[in-house]
Structure 1
Amino acid sequence: MTISNNSRGILYMVVAMATFTLNDTFIKLATETVPLSEAIAVRGMLTVLGLLAVARVMGVKDFNLAAADRKLLGWRTFGEVGGTITFLLALRQMPLANISAILQSLPLAVTLGAALLLKEPVGWRRMTAILVGFCGVMMIVKPGTEGFNIWSVLALVSVGFVVIRDLSTRQFSSNIPSVVIALFSAVAVTIMGFSGLALESWRGLTVAEMLMLTTAAGALIVGYMFIVMAMRVGDVAIIAPFRYTSLVVAIFLGWLAFDTLPGPWTVAGAVVVVATGLYTYLREHQLQRRIAASKSSLTGTATPDR
């Protein structure tokens, strides 16, 4: 059975969201005692080394980019660094599930950005599904009940940076290995971490802290690779809603690591989010079957029952 680009993109997105959330969990745990800049720098060094190892295994030796791709890399790096700074500052002060809920506005933002800037088609059914999913997020955030503070604003700003990152990723030349794009991002974030040490002092790490940062780096390596692959295949409008799956992972990890249980509104919102993603996937699967059936009728071959 051939897997469509959209199905592969959905799978990549789900893996990326799960591993990014795992990274967030361990970074939040580590920065309870480790200065933020030091945590970013140490995690960054481990991530760069890991991605270099992946590149070696894949046989990637050429890291040169064409002029157009270097410009895109500049924009992607800007989005990656800006998104990392604003997100991690907010993450230290907010519950994991809360900040993850705010970031669920990304599918709508990325899809609209792709439609407006990249002229990608977005049908009314897909847009409606994303809007319904976003309503589910609002059920979780409950704006106005507690009000937005500075950390909520930083989380929203990080959304804008990530939109820049993802739309830039989508325009890279197809011959550039995803690991190369991920490696440049990791190097930029690592440099940012070391730069921040000018404002914070370095301290020795305990074994437990080092294990947490190593786990975060491992999860980040997988996340970097899969988010790049997700944004380079399929339709943004179909793949983007599966960012919502990170919220489900965040609720579970928030309970497991920080003993915070979601309330009834959070659970209801999560159900809406998951249902939205399933609807989008099932519709895509239905469309692929229709296309396959149409091609079979044109070539005169029968499509086997499944």
Structure 2
Amino acid sequence: MTADPKGSPLMGGRAGDPQTPLVAIGLTLLAYLCFSCLDATAKYLVESLPSLQVVWMRFTSHVVLALIVFQVWRRPRLFHTDRPLLQIVRAFCLLGSTIGNFMAVRYLQLAETMSIMFAAPFLVTAIAGPMLGEWAGPRRWAAIVVGFIGVLIVAKPGSGEMHWAVIYSVAAMISYAFYALLTRMLSATDSASSMLLISAVVAMFAMAPAGLSVWTAPPSLVHWLLLICTGVFGGVGHWLFIKASALAPAPVLAPFSYAQIVSMVGLGYLVFGDVPTSSTIAGASIVVCSGLYLLYRERVRRP
């Protein structure tokens, strides 16, 4: 293990190591698995609880978990940041993405929200060049387009009347794209722990008035546990994503968000009884092949 610029350990790789992009890709895939679990849990919870309450509890449980795991009372410098304004903007991007997504899943099917959210890699890849100086080559752009086609095969947008709530998914997608880019930018100067803590604390306090104003008592112990799990899935997922962003450029990691479709299909079947159709299987296969090609390209580019 090595350390990031602020002393937080990085998992299994360091800048310049030929295996580092592969480690970053692995961390990204695990992060998106956590995000899939978060989305499935949120969809279940918002059927009986207000969306804003679920959002607030997602960040509150995230903060409590992080405080305990990092023992902040012993290590107050975990909150240190060299770029406080950028941290706050990033936190609100994460909050906007979460609110938009949780509001959308109340009205839309997961396939519909997915089809919009998976436009984020286009935005990330396009903006990463002028914003971060990380330009994507033609092969990576081609793989992104192929992966997006696979997502469209699964989601089949336009096959029915589009619900007005798609605006929530569009807002979530744009917010998430900027969150991903700001994470990459901050990873050069701030520790993973500071980014994980500050974003959650800012979001928790920002959402407290709205979350408490609509508070409804969870109907069972299971709902309480699932509310806590939203913080676990979100916190662990974003910690993994922060680690990955410190190890590889944004255009390298952006296409692997498509792998989330595989875990989404699996959770949809296990939790909601959604049986995958032939188009779902075909589209998911295209997504997987696109990701495997990118993985292959990363391997052959390294000595």
**TM exceeding 0.5:** yes
Question: Where does residue 172 of structure 2 map in the other structure?
Answer: 158
Question: Where does residue 295 of structure 1 map in the other structure?
Answer: none
Relative to 1, partners in 2 of residues 1:9 and 1:272: Cα closer, same or farther, differing over 3 Å? same
In 2: Cα distance, 1:31 partner to 1:161 partner: 21
Relative to 1, partners in 2 of residues 1:287 and 1:57: Cα closer, same or farther, differing over 3 Å? farther
Alignment of 1:1-306 (within 5 A): 4-56=19-71, 60-62=75-77, 63-66=79-82, 69-172=83-186, 174-197=188-211, 199-288=213-302, 292=303
Asked whether the equivalents of residues 41 and 193 of structure 1 are also in contact (C-alpha less than 8 Å), the reply is yes
In 1: Cα distance, 2:271 partner to 2:197 partner: 29
Structure 1 residues not aligned, in runs of 5+: 293-306
Quote how far apart the aligned CAs of 1:175 are: 4.7
Quote how far apart the aligned CAs of 1:5 are: 2.2
Asked whether the equivalents of residues 84 and 189 of structure 1 are also in contact (C-alpha less than 8 Å), the reply is no
In 2: Cα distance, 1:225 partner to 1:48 partner: 12
Q: Which amino acid aligns with 2:293?
A: Y
Quote how far apart the aligned CAs of 1:275 are: 0.6
Query: 2:185 is paired with a residue of what secondary structure?
Result: coil
Asked whether the equivalents of residues 47 and 218 of structure 1 are also in contact (C-alpha less than 8 Å), the reply is yes
**Matched positions, count:** 287
Structure showing greater radius of gyration is: 1
Higher mean displacement: 237-246 or 31-40: 31-40
Structure 2 residues not aligned, in runs of 5+: 1-11
Q: Percent identity?
A: 27
Asked whether the equivalents of residues 150 and 287 of structure 2 are also in contact (C-alpha less than 8 Å), the reply is yes
Higher mean displacement: 159-168 or 146-155: 146-155
Quote how far apart the aligned CAs of 1:86 are: 0.9
TM-score by length of 1: 0.87
Relative to 1, partners in 2 of residues 1:58 and 1:14: Cα closer, same or farther, differing over 3 Å? farther
TM-score by length of 2: 0.87
Quote how far apart the aligned CAs of 1:57 are: 8.4
Relative to 1, partners in 2 of residues 1:209 and 1:232: Cα closer, same or farther, differing over 3 Å? same
Query: 1:92 is paired with a residue of what secondary structure?
Result: helix
